[in-house]
Structures are given as structure tokens and as C-alpha cells.
């Protein structure tokens, strides 16, 4: 039987849509890791991780079984598992499924799916700090006049 050429192998064809410049790193579900991570490309965390996560332009995906205790900074972040710590994203943060987040989120865009538990504050990273809003002038029927 003739050997298949490398360009026609099923494995090569299955991965042909993946950009060769995109690196993907996976921390498997049965892995526990402690330390500081810096990455480019894409990082999937499916296990347990404690420390710091930093990326200038990468995408972080925290799987639905993952438990992460970290200060996180990346371009785009998708969370489906549990995270304790503050999150900063220059792009978007997506909180999906049964995600549980305990910490503040600063991002250009924030998406929260129904069913997510989010305990913390959110802030748009692109906006200037806002002073507290005062809507008291809008309510003309609810003035300080005593009732009759």
C-alpha cells in the first residue's frame, strides 16, 4: 500500500484552518499549577491554577471545570468556570454558562450570559472615570413638596 503524502494526510487537513502563527497552550483538567504565566496566542485552562496570568494580545479561555485564583490581564477572555481575582482585558470579556467570578472586571466590552454569578464591579477600560450620576432634576413629579 503506498504511503500517503504529507500534504494529503487527514491530520494535516484537519488542522489546515489553524493559523501557523497562532500558538495554543492547554492546561488539562487533571492539572494543578501555581506560578506566573505569560503567553501569546491562545491559552486554555481546564484545571486548577493559582498565580498571575499576563498577555499583551492573547486570548484566555477558562473552561467550565476550571478553578482559577489569579490576577488576569489579556486581550480577550472567555470564562466558563470559576475565577477569583481581578480581570483586565483590552478587548472583550465573556462570562458564559455557569461561570462564577469573584473580582472586578475592566474591559472594553463585557458580555454576561444568563446564569452567570458575578460578584464584583465592572468598568469600561476606555472611558474616563465618571462622577456619580444625579438624576434628581429629572423627576419633576417627585419634588420635595409636602403631601396634602
| Structure-block grid coordinates of residue 80 | 466558563
Distance of alpha carbon 132 from alpha carbon 124, whole angstroms: 15
Whether the predicted model's global pTM rises above the 0.85 cut: no
Q: Give the Å distances, CA to CA, from 105 to 10, 15, 16, 24, 64.
A: 42, 34, 35, 24, 19
Q: Which residues in the chain show pLDDT less than 70?
A: 1-21, 128-130, 141-148
Q: Of how many residues is the chain composed?
A: 148
Question: In the prediction, which pLDDT does 138 show?
Answer: 79
Question: In the prediction, which pLDDT does 136 show?
Answer: 74
Distance of alpha carbon 118 from alpha carbon 32, whole angstroms: 24
Question: In the prediction, which pLDDT does 15 show?
Answer: 42
Amino acid at each position: 500500500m503506498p504511503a500517503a503524502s504529507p500534504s494529503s494526510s487527514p491530520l494535516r487537513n484537519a488542522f489546515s484552518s489553524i493559523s501557523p502563527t497562532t500558538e495554543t497552550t492547554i492546561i488539562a483538567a487533571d492539572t494543578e499549577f501555581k506560578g506566573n504565566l505569560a503567553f501569546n496566542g491562545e491559552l486554555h485552562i481546564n484545571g486548577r491554577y493559582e498565580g498571575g496570568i499576563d498577555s499583551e494580545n492573547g486570548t484566555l479561555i477558562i473552561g467550565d471545570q476550571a478553578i482559577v485564583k489569579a490576577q488576569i490581564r489579556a486581550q480577550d477572555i472567555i470564562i466558563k468556570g470559576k475565577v477569583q481575582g481581578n480581570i483586565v482585558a483590552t478587548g472583550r470579556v465573556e462570562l458564559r454558562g455557569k461561570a462564577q467570578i469573584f473580582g472586578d472586571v475592566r474591559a472594553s466590552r463585557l458580555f454576561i450570559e444568563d446564569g452567570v454569578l458575578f460578584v464584583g464591579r465592572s468598568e469600561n477600560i476606555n472611558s474616563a472615570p465618571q462622577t456619580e450620576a444625579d438624576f434628581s432634576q429629572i423627576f419633576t413629579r417627585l419634588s420635595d413638596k409636602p403631601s396634602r
